Structure 1
Amino acid sequence: MTRMNGLLIGLAALLASGGVQAESLTLEEAVLRALESNAALRSERLEPEIAATFQEIERAVFDPEIFAELRVRRDREDRLDDRLGDRFAVETEREDVQAGIRQQFAPGTEVELGVTQDRRLSESDAPGAADSSALHRSRLNLTLNQPLLRGSGRAVNLVRIQQAELDTLRSEYELRGFTEALVADVETTYWDLVQAEREIELFEASLALAEEQIERTEERVRLGDLSETELAPLEAEAALRRQELIDARNRRDVARLELLQLTGTDYAPGEAPELTPETAPTLPEDAEPDPVATHLLLALEHRAELREARLLLQRNELELVRTRNGLLPRLDLFVTLGKSGYADSFGSAVEELDGRSYDAVVGLRVEQPLGRRAGQAEHRQAGLQREQALLGIDNLTRLVQVDVQSAWLEVARSQAQIEATAATRAAQEERLRAEEARFEVGQTTAFALSQAQRDLLQAQVDQQAAQIGYRQALVDLYRLDGSLLERRGIQARGY
């Protein structure tokens, strides 16, 4: 009966796997797959590219701009002849073509160079007037506008570009933090899968041992050496181990599905491939953590969240520069220089540009909103945001320090547990051997023997968990001090 139960369990496991051959996977391969194929990471990699486009948008403010305009106008009006007192009509047709180039520069200077060509044709029915007359004009003009207060200076006019650059760098830090979290999740899940596989091996071996013990006890009951009541605790222990085996297999399947998702593995619904972890939970040579002060210094320098917070502070300081300038009144100096040529044909008008006709305008333009409510509100908002950013950095620094110290303590605890669980396992093995010897000569009960087997199994599980827990604690510590990617030899943006 007990052997039949074991066969049924093995058959159920085979059906659950769908008969799919297991795929071997090392820890390094799992991390590499995640970096290449994880859908969320592939999406996150686009963020710095998207942010970089805003830099180009802001720089485009200083690009030269070509403009052109064509206008055609026709009107008719009545006029009065002062000498004769008669009314007469005048029809005017005007065509204007204007083109040029303008550009804004970082100090705030705006320069425009334009050329204008227009033709004016007039017809009048006044007595003695000519039927029609045409006048062509060609004009070149240069206009310069220089802000003297608001909008003046490179420090103010380049704020938007500098903020866009900081936003791009922030997105790279976000990508780095996301990548670190993904690598940590992959490694942690991988070790969960390893732990589940080891537990399954232990529970299967323990179940086989319990079933063998039941057979031996049944034989002794038939021979009259033991009472039939000795079978009950052994059968109860075997049933309990079957339950634990079912739970362990479920934990393995859940970890396998999570690892498949993290590594971006594609598969048909309901046909998830089996994974066999190949990396053993042995401790690497560099597994010993550094002093906690070293990890704290690393975290304060490299944690992606702290770098993002510092960039946000720089952005707010730039906003203060911009809004402080916005409180000033608008005072612009403008200069316009023009040269015109007049004639009765287009070609002649162009030739007349070197004549004596010119125009020149110099002036000042002043603008100031009454109350300056919007400017003052924006400046106060920028100041409050800067103060908020400073407080955020201080709070985040404290949280980072607590996180790193807690992770370091967890590494120390897990390291100590490795030796403690190894000693416990050795003691439980000696205890089980003693109980088996006593049971063979009838000096102990089946219940005491099953309890010794149970304690040894728990010690074996605890020893495996301690080794894997130490590896996971190290991963968490390296993630929290911002050094995980470098320790894994992974190059990422934002470093």
Structure 2
Amino acid sequence: MTTSNILYCQSKIKCDLIEVSSIAFNKNPTIKSANYSIQNAEANFQLQKSIFDFNLNSEIAYKNDKYNLFDADSRNKYVDKALKNNSFDVSTGLQKTLRSGQIVNVSLNYNYNNSNYPYNSFAEYVGAFYGNHSSNVNLTLTQPLLRGRGGKVTTASEKASVFYINKSKHDYEFANSYEIEQIGIAYWSYYTAYKSLSIYIQNENRVREVLNMTIELVKADKKPQSDLDQVNADLSNQERLTALAKQDLFNARLNLGRVIGLSDDESQRLDTPINDFPTISESGYYSDIDKNALIKIAKNNRGDVKAIGEEYKAIELQYLLAANNLEPQLNLVAFAFYGSASIGNGLDKSWSSLTNNQGQDIGAGAKLIFSFPLNNNLAKGNYSRSKIALQNQSTINENTNRNIELNIDLAVNNLINSVLVLIKSKEAFDFSQNAFNNEQIKFQSGLTTLLNLMIFQERLTSSELQNLNAQQQFSNAIIILRHETGTLIYKEDLGFKITQNAFYTIPNTEN
């Protein structure tokens, strides 16, 4: 069953392992939080990608000024003691950083100005407010020679952010697996509490049957009156245990709802559990489990292993960038320009300023720009931090793999031990049941005491509860081993897949 929105508006929520696990993908806060981490990483990728965006810069400006001339200024006789100027500027530019490291900049500039001074710069009389137009186009190509050189350095942050997206997705996968593991364990606790209550109720009924037999035997003068007090005391104690079992069941139901992500009201609406414990035969268990094969499966499948691998790649790129930033800034800038000018008023003069042969200016050149902070503490500090982060990530990788090996060893040993305990507890329960039945017959025949019957009854209840707990521990051992090997859930294109086998069988080491 694939994960999907589970609609449940009925009075009871079906308590099936697969269904409650699927609900968690939409309700569990830890799973939702891990999904937000993916979205945050994707947003960070967009930030890093913005380095290579086209940047459009535009500016428009108009200026009017009035300059009062000195009395000795010869221009007074032409402008009446005040020189008035108007200017209009328009500029637009497009810049882009290429992934190969170069920076390209193209700009277009236009300027128009006039004044009330009637002579132009060639001392020709043209009249007041006669316009001057100029336009130019510039192309600049910047090639970093040291710091920022090469596409590997330029794209380091962008590529690192992609690795962080992958890391977040694998973290999300592992977080889902862990939460499903917790749901499985909580489900088996709920199922155990449900079955325990049944055992206590059955035991209470057995005590009542013993009480009824004792009453009849007392009436027939085959048992003393004092035996009734013993049975009544035992019955009161069993009723106490039943009340505690009911409380345990209530707590287990709400705890299951908690790990699923349900509210208090929704948790109380969880119906009785419908999945029974797995059996040893159906689990595919075999005594000589290959731990090395399981460790290999874990390292190939676990989300946290994949996540730290992606994080190491990201930190490695950041270290490369930090090392490059230790270099001075030395840029070779090549540029070319074209400009032209025209004189006169009118819109046609504005356009002709870009193509007019007179006043045309064409050129090209190159320059070197050097920049370097003498102490360079910022670059040195970032380099040290990146180097430490890379070393620390190596330690994290080694520690994760070390813990996987230890955890697989523990999980396998726990599984083997739980199988042995389950087998022995089932044998003990069967023997206790036979012993109690025989003792009950002997009591009715007057061949044994009430105390012996009560002792055998307590042993039966105890062995039945121990067998139930052994089944729970075996079921938990399967889930834990599945989680530790990364085979509890499966990634699909549209989400995650959970199968019944993940809760009932151990991982297959033959594939």
TM-score band, normalised by shorter chain:
0.7 to 0.9
Read off the aligned partner of 1:464 and give its amino acid letter.
Answer: L
* Deviation digits for residues 400-456 of structure 1 (CA, Å, limit 9, x no counterpart): 221121111111111111210111112212322332233233332211110100001
> In the alignment, what sits opposite 1:329?
328
Aligned-pair CA distance for 1:36: 4.3
Q: How far apart are the structure 2 equivalents of 1:76 and 1:392?
A: 71
> In the alignment, what sits opposite 2:187?
190
Q: How far apart are the structure 1 equivalents of 2:388 and 2:372?
A: 25
Q: Is the 8 A contact 1:23 1:276 kept in 2?
A: no
Q: How far apart are the structure 1 equivalents of 2:365 and 2:71?
A: 35
TM-score of the aligned structures, taking structure 2 as reference length:
0.85
Q: Aligned pair in 2 of structure 1 residues 113, 23: CA closer, same or farther (>3 Å)? A: closer
RMSD: 3.0
User: Higher mean Cα deviation, 321-330 or 33-42?
Assistant: 33-42
Q: Aligned pair in 2 of structure 1 residues 488, 389: CA closer, same or farther (>3 Å)? A: closer
> In the alignment, what sits opposite 1:305?
304
Does residue 179 (structure 1) correspond to residue 176 (structure 2)? The answer is: yes
> In the alignment, what sits opposite 1:279?
275
Read off the aligned partner of 2:336 and give its amino acid letter.
Answer: L
> In the alignment, what sits opposite 2:489?
485
Aligned-partner SS, 1:443: coil
Aligned-pair CA distance for 1:197: 1.5
Does residue 222 (structure 1) correspond to residue 212 (structure 2)? The answer is: no
Q: How far apart are the structure 1 equivalents of 2:154 and 2:217?
A: 96
Q: How far apart are the structure 1 equivalents of 2:340 and 2:168?
A: 57
User: Higher mean Cα deviation, 167-176 or 249-258?
Assistant: 249-258
Q: How far apart are the structure 2 equivalents of 1:49 and 1:310?
A: 20
Aligned-partner SS, 2:62: strand
Q: How far apart are the structure 1 equivalents of 2:13 and 2:327?
A: 69
* Deviation digits for residues 130-183 of structure 1 (CA, Å, limit 9, x no counterpart): 534321112122111111111111111101111111111111011101110121
Read off the aligned partner of 1:178 and give its amino acid letter.
Answer: A
Q: How far apart are the structure 2 equivalents of 1:367 and 1:487?
A: 50
In the alignment of these two chains, the number of paired residues is 473
Q: 1:124 aligns with which of 77, 102, 117?
A: 117
Q: Is the 8 A contact 1:340 1:352 kept in 2?
A: no
Q: How far apart are the structure 1 equivalents of 2:431 and 2:493?
A: 41
Read off the aligned partner of 1:346 and give its amino acid letter.
Answer: S
Q: How far apart are the structure 2 equivalents of 1:26 and 1:420?
A: 29
Aligned-partner SS, 1:146: strand
Q: How far apart are the structure 2 equivalents of 1:139 and 1:354?
A: 14
User: Higher mean Cα deviation, 317-326 or 30-39?
Assistant: 30-39
> In the alignment, what sits opposite 1:110?
103
> In the alignment, what sits opposite 2:39?
49
User: Higher mean Cα deviation, 139-148 or 428-437?
Assistant: 428-437
Read off the aligned partner of 1:314 and give its amino acid letter.
Answer: K
Long gaps (5+) in structure 2: 1-9, 344-348, 498-511
Q: How far apart are the structure 1 equivalents of 2:297 and 2:57?
A: 55
Q: 1:136 aligns with which of 124, 133, 146?
A: 133
Q: How far apart are the structure 2 equivalents of 1:320 and 1:268?
A: 51
> In the alignment, what sits opposite 2:401?
397
> In the alignment, what sits opposite 2:205?
208
Q: How far apart are the structure 2 equivalents of 1:149 and 1:294?
A: 49
Long gaps (5+) in structure 1: 1-19
Does residue 458 (structure 1) correspond to residue 462 (structure 2)? The answer is: yes
Aligned-pair CA distance for 1:202: 1.2
Q: Aligned pair in 2 of structure 1 residues 487, 98: CA closer, same or farther (>3 Å)? A: closer
Q: How far apart are the structure 2 equivalents of 1:431 and 1:416?
A: 22
Q: How far apart are the structure 1 equivalents of 2:378 and 2:39?
A: 34
Q: How far apart are the structure 1 equivalents of 2:109 and 2:12?
A: 79
* Deviation digits for residues 232-283 of structure 1 (CA, Å, limit 9, x no counterpart): 33222222221221122112111212223444556748x9225111112132
Q: Is the 8 A contact 2:196 2:245 kept in 1?
A: yes
Read off the aligned partner of 1:150 and give its amino acid letter.
Answer: R
Q: Is the 8 A contact 1:98 1:114 kept in 2?
A: yes
Q: How far apart are the structure 2 equivalents of 1:137 and 1:23?
A: 78
Read off the aligned partner of 1:310 and give its amino acid letter.
Answer: G
Aligned-partner SS, 1:352: coil
Q: How far apart are the structure 2 equivalents of 1:95 and 1:75?
A: 12
Read off the aligned partner of 1:468 and give its amino acid letter.
Answer: Q
Aligned-pair CA distance for 1:490: 10
Q: Is the 8 A contact 2:341 2:358 kept in 1?
A: no
> In the alignment, what sits opposite 1:441?
445
Q: Aligned pair in 2 of structure 1 residues 486, 99: CA closer, same or farther (>3 Å)? A: closer
Q: 1:360 aligns with which of 360, 364, 386?
A: 364
Read off the aligned partner of 1:229 and give its amino acid letter.
Answer: S
Q: Is the 8 A contact 2:213 2:444 kept in 1?
A: no
> In the alignment, what sits opposite 1:417?
421
> In the alignment, what sits opposite 1:32?
22
Read off the aligned partner of 2:164 and give its amino acid letter.
Answer: D
User: Higher mean Cα deviation, 96-105 or 253-262?
Assistant: 253-262
Aligned-partner SS, 2:333: strand
Does residue 235 (structure 1) correspond to residue 232 (structure 2)? The answer is: yes
Aligned-partner SS, 1:398: helix
Aligned-partner SS, 1:106: coil
Read off the aligned partner of 2:271 and give its amino acid letter.
Answer: L
Aligned-pair CA distance for 1:79: 6.6
Q: Aligned pair in 2 of structure 1 residues 55, 410: CA closer, same or farther (>3 Å)? A: same
Q: How far apart are the structure 2 equivalents of 1:487 and 1:253?
A: 34
User: Higher mean Cα deviation, 453-462 or 434-443?
Assistant: 434-443
* Deviation digits for residues 456-482 of structure 1 (CA, Å, limit 9, x no counterpart): 111111112212221111101111121
User: Higher mean Cα deviation, 319-328 or 258-267?
Assistant: 258-267
Aligned-pair CA distance for 1:219: 2.3
* Deviation digits for residues 181-215 of structure 1 (CA, Å, limit 9, x no counterpart): 12112211111121111111111111011012112
Aligned-partner SS, 1:114: strand
Q: How far apart are the structure 2 equivalents of 1:165 and 1:487?
A: 19
